Amino acid sequence: MRPSLRKQGTGPKVLIAGGGFAGLSALQALARTGARVTVIDRNVYSTFQPLLYEVATAGLTSADVAYPLWSATGRRGAAFRKGEMAGLDTDKRIVTLAAGEQLEYDYLIIATGVSAAFFGVPGTAEYALSLYTRRDAVVLRNRLMDELELRNEGLADPELDVTVVGGGATGVELSGTLAELRNVALPAVFPEIDRQLFKVRLIEMGPALLSPYHDKLRRYTKDQLVDRGVEVLLNTAIKEVRAGSVLLADGSERRSDITVWAAGVSAPDAGWTVGLPRGRGGRIEVGEDLRVSGQDRIFAVGDVCLNEDKPVAQLAQPALQQGRHAGEQVIRLIAGQPTRQFKYHDKGTMATIGRRSAVVELRGGVQLRGTIAWFAWLGLHLIYLLGNRNRLVTLVNLSWRYLTWSRGGGVILGDDVPGDD
């Protein structure tokens, strides 16, 4: 059934560059205001990034974590343009897309997101895989399945080493699920592979995993990963990534058939950012109301923005709140009212380690771990998924995966289309 579409407004032109958490939250705030809103994105879909690791480990299809932007915009009376920003004229208030199309704006909200940050480590761009886009997840999944298939048929060295670099939520979730894939599903799906020769390694430069969490939850996370057979290396820096190995800062070298870089993000070094103030990681500097420093009509929200005085984590909740705030401030400016300061309401953080194991730290110091935390994690992620179809399919696929892994169920094989990003 086609979604019901709202008529577009006739008020000031508002451009939202980016259809992720922050951009769609800004769109939601601007709905029914009469503004002429246009969302720009290089893809025709919005990606639910927190579940990309499930796509990468063959638990979900890439369609399960994607939602069509034309549907999201149409339901809210906005327009959609597929394209990538190539130029920004702040004096004339014009955004130029890579294909040459020019879009005028009265207000601009930049929510373009970030990409992997390699921190100048040699070999990362050439030999490491990332996990920040839908394409990244599909490429990693296909690479993993190809490597397992070759070994199952006896066409490659029996040993398979996977190295995940970065002990944040992405690294923990990916390495934990890889270990469970090996421990539970491998005998049924790839019976000729010796599980002892499938090795998962997690490397973190700092002294602990999930550094923002309470020390008790950090220790629990490490213990759970070790129990699942993950080799965890802390206080360990990567000096170089090579075709089949990683070179550590102490000079030792570890075999690595697949290296996944989950150690940080940075804003894209695009031509249109020339003239905008940029801080750490290339992120766009903003003031207390999230307007870009030195600009009256341009906001930056989500991972791409940075307030040096009051930084927030590059997570979904801050992006959602910032996007909504920016949309509300545009409404105030249209009405001739002063903007208000952004105040982040920390609702807590959570990360999953594997089946029936997660950590949750809520505002006020409440801490959960284990099965109850895992169900809380699952429920919240289903709530924030866009589209009833995605929620239902994801619930079914994840439930089927955890119920039938040991019999070979819940492993999605085949060449999925990588997508546009």
Q: What is the set of active-site residues?
A: 173
Do the beta carbons of residue 264 and residue 117 sit within 8 Å? yes
Nearest CA-CA partner of 85 in 259, 306, 247, 274: 274
The H or E element that residue 354 is part of is strand 348-354
Separation between Cα atoms, residue 69 and residue 408, nearest integer Å = 34
Nearest CA-CA partner of 173 in 138, 135, 200: 200
Separation between Cα atoms, residue 302 and residue 306, nearest integer Å = 9
Nearest CA-CA partner of 94 in 284, 277, 297, 287: 297
Say how many CA atoms lie within 13 Å of 121 toward its Cβ. Answer: 24
The H or E element that residue 27 is part of is helix 21-30
3-state secondary structure of 83: coil
Separation between Cα atoms, residue 331 and residue 33, nearest integer Å = 8
The burial class, CB within 10 Å (0-12 / 13-18 / 19+), for 337 is: exposed
Contacts of 279 (CB under 8 A, 6+ apart): 285, 306, 308
Separation between Cα atoms, residue 95 and residue 101, nearest integer Å = 8
Separation between Cα atoms, residue 84 and residue 17, nearest integer Å = 8
Do the beta carbons of residue 133 and residue 43 sit within 8 Å? no
Pairing of strands 160-165, 198-203: parallel
Nearest CA-CA partner of 8 in 115, 81, 90: 81
Instruction: Write out 302-319 in H/E/C secondary structure.
Output: HHHEECCCCCCCCCHHHH
Separation between Cα atoms, residue 318 and residue 169, nearest integer Å = 15
Do the beta carbons of residue 352 and residue 358 sit within 8 Å? yes
